[in-house]
A and B are shown apart, each in its own frame.
Chain A
Amino acid sequence: MEIEIDGKIAQVPDGSTIMDAAQQVGVYIPHFCYHKKLSIAANCRMCLVQVEKAPKPLPACATPVTNGMKVFTHSELAIKAQKGVMEFLLINHPLDCPICDQGGECQLQDLAVGYGGGASRFQEDKRVVFHKDVGPLISMQEMARCIHCTRCVRFGQEIAGVMELGMASRNMHSEITTFVGRSVDSELSGNMIDLCPVGALTSRPFRYSARSWELARRRSISPHDSVGANLTLQVKNNVVMRVLPRDNEEVNECWISDKERFSYEALNSPARLGRPMIRVDGVLREVAWNVALDYASHALRDVVSRSGGESVAALASPQATLEELHLLQKLTRGLGSGSIDFRPRRRDFSADGKLAGIPWLGLRLSEIQDLDAALVVGSFLRKDHPLFAQRLRQLSKKWGKVSLLSVTGDDQLLRLHAQRTVSPAELPLALAAVVKAAALLRGEPVPAGLENVEPCGVSQVIASSLVEGDKRAIFLGNVAEQSPQATLLHSLANELARLTGASCGFIGDGANSVGGHLAKAFPTALNAYDMFAQPRKAYFLLGVEPELDCHNPQQAVAALQAADLVVMLTPFADGSAREYADVLLPISPFSETSGSYVNCEGRVQSFSGVVRPFGDARPAWKVLRVLGNLLSLAGFDQNSSEQVRDEIIAAGTEFVSGLDNRLAALPLALSGSSSGLQRVADVPIHFADLLARRAPALQQTRDAAAPTARMSGQTLNALGLTDGVLVRVTQGAGEAVLAAKVDETTPPACVRVAAAHVSTAALGDMFGAINVERA
């Protein structure tokens, strides 16, 4: 189709709107309600343009292009219409720009300069709209500013998958509000702040702390999950004041999760560690860097010379950068130890050494939208991977059949094709049922070991969705990776992929879960679990809080407390680290260091520090490099993080090579179902990493509610308990006292007790046996 806009010719596909065509030829049409990612509302009427032969001005956002159409966006008729709309928008809009948080980045303010009048003809009283309290993240204090574009409403319905805001009432008394007494709890809610074209929805933590023109905009990458959302960090006076998404259609589109948006508060937390500390006579004392490093290197060397290299173990967070992980593994191996790992939540490591390559997503993120079917195995999808879940949500709205096989029936807010919820121990059996159903559908021999599996109806539905269509994918979530039967699940998923022709991959539980493999930060001796099960003399911890981050915190803390030496590189001074650390070295979080993350699709994303390090904190790669020098190890002479990166991957690499999820053939040994109560442990979204844990606003959200012991009513009755009573939850020697709560999404004979929270840090394995009794 050909269309002429202000004399410029555009060729556009059938079904395009005038707005699409105008963007193509670079003509700007003013608008408020239109947004490229949301459905068309055509309610603000700001984009009215003149169309040849049309008697009335037409909204560019909603008017389909017809062949040979001639559009005038700046004709007298168009300008008059646009100015008329602007006058209407302004009559009830408060003239409080000087005290409005949106001032300087307000679409209404910007467009009013071009289309607004110098004075108002409206002499009446302006509308008053009451404020609303919708939670700790979004401020709706000045709702009189709302221009009713309904972007926030459509975002909830279409992107977040839940309508938490709506427009109530009629006429000019229409107002955006929640359902009575409800708050906005979506894990993507902060995007509504960006979408709001005026100052009606503002960021509650940020408001009144800076003006937009005072802020420098710096590029960064999210350290919070495996998608690697592109961020803009806004900085004033060397402080990160705000975090916004940076458009990258292939990664995060234009969204970020609330965790990514509001975790920045932790960067400026009073809990930051500003000076190195060492334990002297049982007390941690602040010392200069040279003293601390000297002490650490000597102590490490002492342990090695006394007890051998293997008495040292190193554990890093999967949030650590590629460069940090690389230097850490070099340092550890230099000390003569193969006990290095970056997967603290993992339990089953039997796949190590049998992997054909680096485990990854199995396809690019941008390919998700073209899938015909997807199966997610073992995941708290929405809370573990908000943006990944958002992509699946969009897929499920189109044609994609998305199925979920997991350990709780949490509402994922997406249209599931099929769903099966089983206990963690039965997860392999449930996946095996799908494998067998697929084999039968394909007419292939049933894989050895699955002879006695009975595919249920749901398994058959899932299997048949996976054999149909062109592109299908199987995704293994965090539960599948953290399960004690992770390797079996991996093998089964591979088998299912082979039978159905689907891709198979891991969503990944950290920003650098692919990068860690690339940096070879995986063990040749003891893994992340065994290094605590078989206590070492010395531990080297990088950005990890074992009491919250490990699969079995009880075991980890015991080993750390018994160790001779614990060297800890951390940005924070609080937490139980103070009880067992002998050396605390202050390091920079992602905002203060350069580095790289490799996201789940293998995309290398490097970033620079945006502010100077807090206090005496230093980028971890520099600390590791100096330690390497002090320990007289070879290969620690890099002068920049780029040099470190170039040792791992060739400069300019966009996607890393060597990604392969295949696994050497392992027997599919399905164990019988377990007896007794089992624990189901989720990692609640705002407890998942050390930044989110220290972000005050996030900690006030409903997602950050203290863990409870959740179980089905039947399980609760069988235990002789009632909803709300306090129960003592025990695993091994550790216990926690929690409130019991009825939750019918929990499978039978299971108790859902969240990990990653201080109240449950004394407990053991995330998916082990658990005992519950009345407290």
Chain B
Amino acid sequence: MAILGAINPMLSVGLDGDNAWRLADYVKRDGYSALRRILESGIGQGDVINEVKKSVLRGRGGAGFPTGLKWSFMPRSFPGDKYVVCNSDEGEPGTFKDRDILRYNPHAVIEGMAIAAFAMGAARGYNYIHGEVWEIYERFEEALDEARAAGFLGRNILGSGFDFDLFAHHGYGAYICGEETALLESIEGKKGQPRFKPPFPASFGLYGKPTTINNTETFASVPYIINMGGERYLESGKPNNGGTKLFSVSGHVNRPGNYEVPLGTPFATLLEMAGGMRGGRQLKGCIPGGSSAPVVPGPTMMDCTMDYDSISKAGSMLGSGAVIVMDETTCMVKALERLSYFYYEESCGQCTPCREGTSWLYKVVHRIEHGKGRADDLDLLGSVTTNIMGRTICALGDAASMPVQSFIKHFRDEFAYHIENRKCLVPVDVQRAGSGFFTATA
């Protein structure tokens, strides 16, 4: 079972059965009809982009940038090579939706990329797949073979004269390679380190050529938009937040997993679909958009709807749609320590504030968690994060800083208690009981 629950689903429709990912099944689900229609009915490149614009599809990778607008930045008439690149380097802690899209519905991604390539006049594409999900890479390669054999990829697709070659490329698990320019460097065979922007990939991308990079889910949504029309897609979500979205729900819920719901669905509904809080406990906090998004306190979160604007109003980001649920047994200091360790470990080391700052943040949080915090540590953390944010080449510095800032902002008492009393506000055995891996002793 690919998706644990859904409301008005698109991407996850008909994915039951072992062969749902295969081309034959996909075609039965109306697959490749969008591509066929575009190529056979002479719909223009501009029309495709307009349709995507009308759908208000926003990038599903984290930043939420309007996809149609991004596509319109591509110099379509540029005479040389142009590329479309799919970012399947899903490394954000809490996120596991692209993995399942590629596992259960890979042809939607292929079709979406082919449509994008057509719309932007690209003849080559790459799907960069996270190196730690190897079987997904192998499955995608197999799906590519199927699509090539069926004539949906390659030379003269469906006799239209449109050429598009698509390749899978796997990374080796570096989080930074999910940053689009680091991803391009990695495809080029270089060390995955972000480039300074400008120039942006639309003018200087892969091998220095105009390139558009979108998330897996974004590309996978495209065939559905073309089939149902941009306006209907938009209506299936809420204004300015078109369509449905996959949410990876993890943490202290009874049924962690992927859920497809329309944007604008109340968080409470999503939580209910995920089986509710484990052990019926209270929601303490929630990271609504992957580990880089600021944490939102439980009560605020319960009032949110799951869309870009509502979450933004609550002071966080919808991000990649990774909903990390934490109940009252969670020690927020420990949670932040783990997050900070991740960013410290995954900083690429290229630019100073991130390289030095992320390790500093981790060391200070680590110190607090281990009962060695100092009175001015919270101010120090605040100061270090402001020195990192907005000073780095890519967004990893911001991503490392936002959890620190938000955890301290919303759970300052807990941090202060830790520093003062050299132990956790939430007793260790309560934490253990809540984790589900230990039996409570008290």
Q: Which residues of A contact B (CB under 8 A)?
A: 40-46, 48, 55-57, 59, 62, 64, 81, 84-85, 87-89, 91-92, 121-122, 124, 147-148, 166-167, 169-174
Contacts and interface: CB of A to CB of B under 8 A. Distances in A.
Q: Which of A64, A85, A88 has the most CB of B within 10 A?
A: A88
Nearest to A85: B352
Give the secondary structure class of A's interface: loop
Nearest to A122: B360
B212 to A, nearest CB: 22
Contact of B352 (A40, A88, A122, A166): A88
A169 B349 contact: yes
A554 B198 CA distance: 63
B338 interface: no
Contact of B391 (A48, A92, A121, A122): A48
A376 B261 CA distance: 68
A487 B174 CA distance: 61
A543 B15 CA distance: 86
Interface stretch (B50-58, B214-222, B251-259, B339-347): B339-347
A81 B386 CA distance: 9
Contact of A57 (B198, B350, B360, B391): B391
B281 interface: no
Interface size class of B (residues with CB under 8 A): 20 to 34
A43 B191 contact: no
Contact of B346 (A56, A91, A169, A170): A170
A42 B391 CA distance: 11
B359 A171 contact: yes
A171 B390 CA distance: 18
A56 B398 CA distance: 12
Contact of A88 (B174, B357, B367, B380): B357
Contacts of B237: none
Contacts of B344: 171-172
A84 B382 CA distance: 13
A713 to B, nearest CB: 31
Given A91-B360, A92-B356, A45 B351 contact: yes
B203 to A, nearest CB: 12
A539 to B, nearest CB: 59
Given A48-B391, A59-B196, A122-B360, A89 B352 contact: yes
A45 B350 CA distance: 10
Interface in B156-197: 174, 176, 191, 196
Q: Which of A40, A147, A174 has the most CB of B within 10 A?
A: A174
Interface string B133-155: 00000000000000000000000
B69 to A, nearest CB: 20
A180 to B, nearest CB: 16
Contacts of A41: 196, 350
A89 B353 CA distance: 8
Nearest to A123: B374
B314 interface: no
Interface string B4-33: 000000000000000000000000000000
Q: Which of B196, B347, B367 has the most CB of A within 10 A?
A: B196
Nearest to A46: B352
B340 to A, nearest CB: 12
A148 B353 CA distance: 12
B127 interface: no
Nearest to A124: B363
A45 B353 contact: yes
Nearest to B359: A172
B360 A42 contact: no
Nearest to B397: A45
Contacts of A91: 356, 360
Contacts of B357: 88
B292 interface: no
Contacts of A85: 352-353, 387, 391
19 contacts: A42-B196, A56-B390, A81-B391, A84-B353, A84-B386, A85-B353, A85-B391, A124-B367, A148-B350, A166-B191, A170-B346, A171-B346, A171-B347, A172-B347, A172-B356, A172-B358, A172-B359, A174-B349, A174-B355
A84 B387 contact: yes
B265 interface: no
A207 B350 CA distance: 28
Contacts of B391: 45, 48, 56-57, 81, 84-85
Interface in B350-405: 350-353, 355-360, 363, 367, 380, 383, 386-387, 390-393
A171 B352 contact: no
Nearest to A63: B198
A404 B360 CA distance: 53
Contacts of B383: 121
Contacts of A147: 352
A89 B176 CA distance: 21
B348 interface: yes
A44 B356 contact: no
A56 B390 CA distance: 6
Contact of A171 (B198, B355, B367): B355
A126 to B, nearest CB: 11
B181 to A, nearest CB: 12
B396 to A, nearest CB: 10
Nearest to A170: B349
Contacts of B355: 88, 148, 171-172, 174
Nearest to A48: B391
Given A88-B357, A148-B355, A45 B392 contact: yes
Q: Which of B353, B358, B393 has the most CB of A within 10 A?
A: B353
Contacts of A171: 344-349, 355, 358-359
Contacts of B380: 121
A148 B198 contact: no
B226 to A, nearest CB: 36
Given A170-B346, A170-B347, 9 more contacts: A42-B393, A43-B350, A84-B386, A88-B353, A88-B355, A122-B360, A167-B349, A170-B345, A174-B348
Contacts of A124: 360, 363, 367
